[in-house]
Amino acid sequence: MPDTTEMPNSPAPLLPPPWHSDDRSRPRIRDVRVILTAPEGTRLVVVKVETDEPELYGLGCATFTQRPLAVATAIEEYLRPQVIGRSVHDIEDLWSMLAVSSYWRSGPVLNNAMSGLDMALWDAVAKARRVPLWKLLADRYNGGKFDDKAWVYAAGGYYYPGKDLDGLQDEMKHYLDLGYSTVKMKIGGVPLADDLKRIEAVLKVIGGKGENLCVDVNGRYDLDQALACGAAIAPYNLRWYEEPLDPLDYLLHAALATRYAPPLATGENLFSMQDARNLIRHGGLRPDRDVLQFDPALSYGLVEYLRTLAMLQRHGWSGRRCVPHGGHQFALNIAVGLGLGGNESYPDVFAPFGGFADDCPVENSLVRLPDIPGVGFEAKSALYRVMRPLAEG
């Protein structure tokens, strides 16, 4: 067993580290800090893993904007004490220990807490290896293969008081100017006839190409509404029709899929491999077209997301059907390194987490990732302005 006496002030690990080689036993986690900050009004929960190598740290985001203090308490009081003194390379083992230690599982508080820590550990491990996270993932899990660029789309098209069709069109033109060819808008918040006018207005802006438009219901429809909307929008052959129904009502999705032929998308409200598996088994989705949006930050981190990808493969689904929700840099690395279908992005909301590294413009809805160690937070100056004081603190 590795010698833990060099860190006399930290608690002894609860379990012996699983790796005994020198390479795997260093660096160790010296501390886990939670920093609450709200740049541009978004309440972020940032996790910093400090190691026993003075320059080496990892950053993660455990943000749950509606319940940030509950997430912070979960990390500080329950996760932090269990991981201090362990090697940063023990991610999978730490994950299992933390997951079972609460007995009762899942939900956005515990999942965001765990995935913020998971993200910070992956950032630290990639930095320790001096490689970008996407490269580390490609080498470890994808036979060294990675994508040169990630496909991304601009998520927006929200309802706002006073926002008319002109305002919606201006927003979408702005996304096109930023280099996106595919955009997403909300529907389901007004009567269908009004939504159809909004869809037509956006289609006009993007040259009538339905394959470049996604619509997102955020689970508001019942089956009748979803079928009616589906019948109305089917002729547009949209890129996808997202979360039309209660995300946990798998049979409703199966019923809709018997009638709506173009692509459906869902998954951001499923928080574990088991939930994802139930969608795949019972939701009637079609592996040649439908889109899975499980978010590695909402669903227990990358350790669980790897299990979800393995489950998909066993069920005959390609990872290319996955386009994670959330628009964060972590999922962008996963998309490129593991060969997903792409990633969401929020050019104008959730700042400063939306968008990309400074020298990586979006062109034709494709974006290159920076070639710096870790997740790459440090290459995105608007974000790093927020995170830097934390990193140096």
List the catalytic residues: 186, 325
**Based on CB atoms, which residue is closest to its own copies, 46 or 199?**
46
Give me the helix-helix angle, 223-233 and 250-257, nearest 10°: 30
**Based on CB atoms, which residue is closest to its own copies, 4 or 278?**
278
320 binds its own copies (CB under 8 A): no
Shortest Cβ 69–its own copies spacing (Å): 5
Shortest Cβ 229–its own copies spacing (Å): 22
Shortest Cβ 68–its own copies spacing (Å): 9
The one among 130, 145, 197, 281 contacting its own copies by CB under 8 A: 281
Contacts of 86 (CB under 8 A, 6+ apart): 13, 17, 28, 29, 94
**Based on CB atoms, which residue is closest to its own copies, 106 or 182?**
106
312 binds its own copies (CB under 8 A): no
256 binds its own copies (CB under 8 A): no
The one among 33, 39, 78, 318 contacting its own copies by CB under 8 A: 78
Q: Which stretch binds its own copies (CB under 8 A): 127-135, 208-216, 272-280, 376-384?
A: 272-280
* Alpha carbon 210 to chain centroid, angstroms: 25
293 binds its own copies (CB under 8 A): no
The one among 77, 164, 200, 222 contacting its own copies by CB under 8 A: 77
Q: Which stretch binds its own copies (CB under 8 A): 59-67, 170-178, 196-204, 321-329?
A: 59-67
The one among 33, 67, 129, 368 contacting its own copies by CB under 8 A: 67
The one among 7, 70, 165, 257 contacting its own copies by CB under 8 A: 70
74 binds its own copies (CB under 8 A): yes
Tokens 């956006």 belong to which residue? 202
344 binds its own copies (CB under 8 A): no
Side chain identity at residue 5, one-letter code: T
- In this structure, the number of other CB atoms found within 10 A of the CB of residue 134 comes to 25
- In this structure, the number of other CB atoms found within 10 A of the CB of residue 207 comes to 9
149 binds its own copies (CB under 8 A): no
4 binds its own copies (CB under 8 A): no
Residues near its own copies (CB under 8 A), total = 37
Q: How far is CA 92 from CA 134, 166, 307, in A?
A: 18, 50, 11
Q: Which stretch binds its own copies (CB under 8 A): 67-75, 126-134, 145-153, 203-211?
A: 67-75
Question: Greatest CA span in the chain, whole angstroms?
Answer: 69
- In this structure, the number of other CB atoms found within 10 A of the CB of residue 83 comes to 26
**Based on CB atoms, which residue is closest to its own copies, 139 or 246?**
246
Q: Which of residues 82-121 bind its own copies (CB under 8 A)?
A: 101-111
**Based on CB atoms, which residue is closest to its own copies, 251 or 261?**
251
The two structure tokens encoding residue 232 = 């109305």
In terms of C-beta density within 10 A (0-12 exposed, 13-18 middle, 19 or more buried), how is residue 365 classed? buried
Q: How far is CA 124 from CA 26, 74, 160, in A?
A: 11, 21, 40
The one among 10, 266, 269, 343 contacting its own copies by CB under 8 A: 269
Shortest Cβ 338–its own copies spacing (Å): 24
- 212 close to 206: Cβ distance less than 8 angstroms: yes
**Based on CB atoms, which residue is closest to its own copies, 181 or 266?**
266
Q: What is the DSSP letter of 236?
A: G
Instruction: Give strand ranges (E) for the chain.
Output: 29-37, 44-51, 57-61, 149-155, 183-186, 213-216, 240-242, 264-266, 291-292, 343-345, 366-368
Q: What is the DSSP letter of 369?
A: P
Give me the helix-helix angle, 108-129 and 133-141, nearest 10°: 90
314 binds its own copies (CB under 8 A): no
SS3 144: coil
Show the site string, 226-255: x = touches its own copies by CB under 8 A, - = not. Answer: --------------------x-xxxx----
- 219 close to 265: Cβ distance less than 8 angstroms: no
Shortest Cβ 304–its own copies spacing (Å): 13
Residue 155 phi, psi dihedral angles, 5° rounding: -95, 125
Cis peptide before 347 (omega within 30 of 0): no
Tell me which residues touch its own copies (CB under 8 A). Answer: 64, 66-67, 69-74, 77-78, 101-111, 246, 248-251, 269, 271-272, 274-275, 277-278, 281-282, 298
